[in-house]
């Protein structure tokens, strides 16, 4: 059914793409690209009938640029403030609230992202580069343009790890299982004091994140995240991160440390 719809759309809408001298400039001629059609078309499915989350995705970019243009990539509000849209804001522990105020006042100069360090799974959902989801039986892989990064979500039936593990990492360890058409991913095992946004909302090594991936249409992916981190927050909290399909490009490398010169000028 989905393939039929996609094929019909492809035969109906053709958009020409101008090509510059590098290969990831567009899909083969004839690929459908109209927002309205893509919004209406249902999510594709894999052979086992589950939604197929595969594709190149971009986070919602709903933070407007200044009148003279964005300084860099346009971002979403949640890249700066993960609490954007969270009623009442985040339930910070007192020390965490003080820390976020301090980080904002310092213009984020201690931000791991500014220092080209890995930033963890939440910020990779909001960082305005592209990511590619590859879904195969038993495994979902998310590739990211930022530093050619990968993330594995094990969907082979293994159990989630404890909150704290011997070898913590910025991406943590993720297991996933389907709840109807929603992929539920549980992650733990994070390194301490990751930043969830540019304001510096912390995630500690005791944090547990649940993501609920739902491809609501051919073109849109919703990821509801729930952060349960008693060290930093007085209660679990949730927010939704929208992602949109980017059908006419491929991943390009962004090596943050290639020629990083800015940190020396921070003050």
Partner 1 sequence: MSKRLVWLSATSVTVWLAGAAPLRAHHSAAAIYDEGKTVTVQGMVTKIEWTNPHVFIHVDAKETTGQVVSWSFEGASPIGLYRDGVHKDSLKVGDTVTVVGVPARSVEHLAEIRTITFADGRKVFDRAGKP
Q: Tokens at residue 230, please? A: 């008693």
Show the site string, 122-161: x = touches partner 1 by CB under 8 A, - = not: -----xxx---------------x----------------
Show the site string, 34-73: x = touches partner 1 by CB under 8 A, - = not: -x--xx------------------x-xxxxxxxxxxxxxx
Nearer to partner 1, 26 or 168 (CB): 26
Cα radius of gyration (the chain): 19
Show the site string, 171-210: x = touches partner 1 by CB under 8 A, - = not: ---------------------------x------------
Q: Does 259 bind partner 1 (CB under 8 A)?
A: yes
Show the site string, 238-257: x = touches partner 1 by CB under 8 A, - = not: ----x-xxxxxx--xxxxx-
Shortest Cβ 23–partner 1 spacing (Å): 12
- Cβ within 8 Å of residue 140, ≥6 positions away: 53, 133, 134, 152, 153, 155, 176, 183
Place of tokens 């510059």: 20
Spatial distance between the Cα atoms of 81 and 139, rounded to a whole number of angstroms: 31
Spatial distance between the Cα atoms of 88 and 46, rounded to a whole number of angstroms: 39
Among positions 90-129, residues that touch partner 1 (CB under 8 A) are 107-109, 111, 113-114, 116, 127-129
Shortest Cβ 171–partner 1 spacing (Å): 19
Instruction: Let me know: does 126 contact 75? Beta carbons within 8 Å.
Output: yes
Shortest Cβ 80–partner 1 spacing (Å): 8
Shortest Cβ 96–partner 1 spacing (Å): 20
DSSP 195-254: ESSTT--EE-TT-EEEEEEEE-SSSEEEEEEEEE-TTTBSS-EEEEEEEEE-TT-----B
């Amino acid at each position: 059914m989905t393939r039929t719809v996609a094929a019909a759309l492809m035969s109906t809408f053709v958009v020409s793409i101008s090509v510059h001298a590098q290969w990831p400039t567009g899909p083969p001629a004839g690929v459908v690209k109209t927002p309205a059609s893509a919004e209406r078309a249902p999510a594709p499915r894999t052979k086992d009938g589950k939604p197929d989350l595969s594709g190149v995705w971009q986070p919602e970019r709903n933070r407007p640029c200044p009148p003279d243009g964005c300084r860099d990539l346009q971002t979403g509000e949640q890249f700066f403030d993960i609490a954007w849209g969270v009623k009442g804001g985040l339930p910070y522990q007192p020390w965490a609230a003080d820390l976020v105020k301090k980080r904002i006042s310092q213009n984020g100069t201690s931000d791991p992202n500014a220092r080209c360090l890995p930033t963890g799974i939440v910020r990779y959902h909001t960082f305005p580069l592209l990511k590619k989801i590859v879904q195969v039986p038993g495994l979902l892989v998310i590739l990211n343009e930022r530093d050619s990064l990968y993330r594995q979500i094990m969907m082979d039936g293994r159990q989630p790890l404890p909150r704290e593990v011997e070898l913590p990492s910025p991406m943590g360890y993720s297991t996933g299982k389907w709840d109807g058409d929603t992929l539920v991913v549980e992650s733990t095992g994070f390194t301490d004091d990751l930043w969830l946004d540019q304001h510096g909302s912390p995630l500690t090594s005791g944090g547990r994140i649940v993501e609920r991936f739902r491809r609501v249409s051919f073109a849109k992916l919703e990821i509801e995240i729930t952060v349960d981190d008693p060290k930093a927050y007085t209660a679990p909290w949730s927010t939704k991160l929208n992602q949109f399909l980017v059908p006419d490009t491929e991943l390009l490398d962004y090596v943050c440390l290639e020629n990083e010169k800015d940190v020396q000028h921070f003050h």
